[in-house]
Structure 1
Amino acid sequence: MSIGNSPEDERPFEDVSEEARPSVGRALKDARLAAGLTVDEVSAATRVRIALVQAIEADDFGPCGGDVYARGHIRALAREVGVDPAPLLDQYAAEHGGRPAPTPAAPLFEAERIRPERRGPNWTAAMVAAIVVVIGFVGFTAVKGGDSDDSAKAQVGGATPGASASASPKPKGGKPAAQKPAPSDSAIAAAPQDKVTVQVSAPNGRSWISAKDHNGRMLFDGLLNKGESKTFQDSTKINLILGDAGAIQLYVNGKKIEDQFQPGAVERLTYTKGDPQAG
């Protein structure tokens, strides 16, 4: 009886050559089949597209888009089918030229910093500028229009009693000119009989007034300053609104209206061809 290793123990270990070792793709496929998984199940679990799983199992790593992505897919598939990814990654590196050299990070960041940024037109700023221009134009027009209206009112307003008295030449000898008598009943005959004529004067202060004809058309709507007067005429009637009736004196169809209006009172009046009388 001999002591020591038996002849069977002295047999050299079986050397599995690289040619007999399955490829990376074949190893992954065999492991998947052994685990009882389908390509669809592996794809859903690893989020690797079905076509890409099939290509890797066929040892076609071109669709992976590079060694970095190929190694990541191999690692994910190996873990899903229950095999150690390290030997498969080493085998892939040996068959495809080793591990890829890391890409320097600084040039990438530098390129990102110097990349020009394309900017579209700033529509918000353009709209704001347009609105400012429109508002400025409207304000300018309103100011010019207000000046024109004031000039027109000054021209349209008739001569006031005070202005007439001051403009009248003084007679020789230094005596003051005789004052013009107030309209009397005889003045009714001078007014047109087929129309209604209303004269509005403001001898005691200023007042806002509004005058419309029988069709509702606005004849005047504005401020009558102290000493000014307006005359309105229509074939049927004149509608008046006096903002401060106490400052107003009315002559209707040539006759003075003797109503005692209170200062600050607002009066709505209507006069026709048969007046004078308050409507």
Structure 2
Amino acid sequence: MSIGNSPESPEDDRNFPADDRDSIGRALQQARIAAGLTVDEVSASTRVRIPIVHAIEEDDFSRCGGDVYARGHIRTLARAVGIDPALLIEQYESEHGGRPAPTPAAPLFEAERIRPEPRRPNWTAAMVAAIVAVVGFVGFTMFSGNDTQGGAGAVAEGPAPEKKTTSPTTKPTKTPGTKPAPSAIAAVPKDKVTVKLTAIDDKSWISAKASDGKLLFDGLLLEGESKTFQDDERVDLILGNAGPIELFVNGKKIEEKFESGAVERLSYTKGAPESG
């Protein structure tokens, strides 16, 4: 008979999760793979260093620098791969003790407040103010009476002002040769490449870069939102969920239909809209 812990000891149950849901790191890793993104691409778009991304996907949050930074990294990575960060933050707080409750500061100083003593009414000042008010009222009444008589004579002697009427049927005339202003899409500059994206019926994660590699935008485009990008030579796009995106290039609508949930990598230059 063995004295040590048996294989069925309750202490071994500590290694198993309380429920069947994926861990935070695995959920982020699966979402990144489903979006067709590499760790390098996620690191470049979120500014989270590659070793920290790897550590978080392995559920190692010790390299984040504390709970506050860990929550921030989880929220940033979740948005980059197109999943809701709120559930992951809730899971993190339930697994790591949640946030400390703030201590109200007001009661600590309640006892130290200095309460002023009630003041006694100053009857002398009240009487002086009443006398000044009476004298002022009498003077104002006399002055107003004289002005009213003089003003009435001036009105009786002066001619009545003429009223100008305008015909209700008068309509503004149009200047011949006037042309309507061109639309914003038609007025795109010809010496640049202009790309406009609109999320029609769902959200989509997008990344846009200029020809020199500068990151123009990286994040979620919510339903109904639009983004416009310009560059002198080229605009490179990555669409994490290309289906709901409506795309205009150099003022012309791209008629190509993208599949919902598909990842598309596109590149557009000046001239005719052709995807790379």
**Whose relative contact order is higher, 1 or 2, with alpha carbons under 8 Å and at least 6 apart?**
2
Asked if TM exceeds 0.5, the reply is no
Larger Rg: 1
TM-score, normalization by structure 2 = 0.35
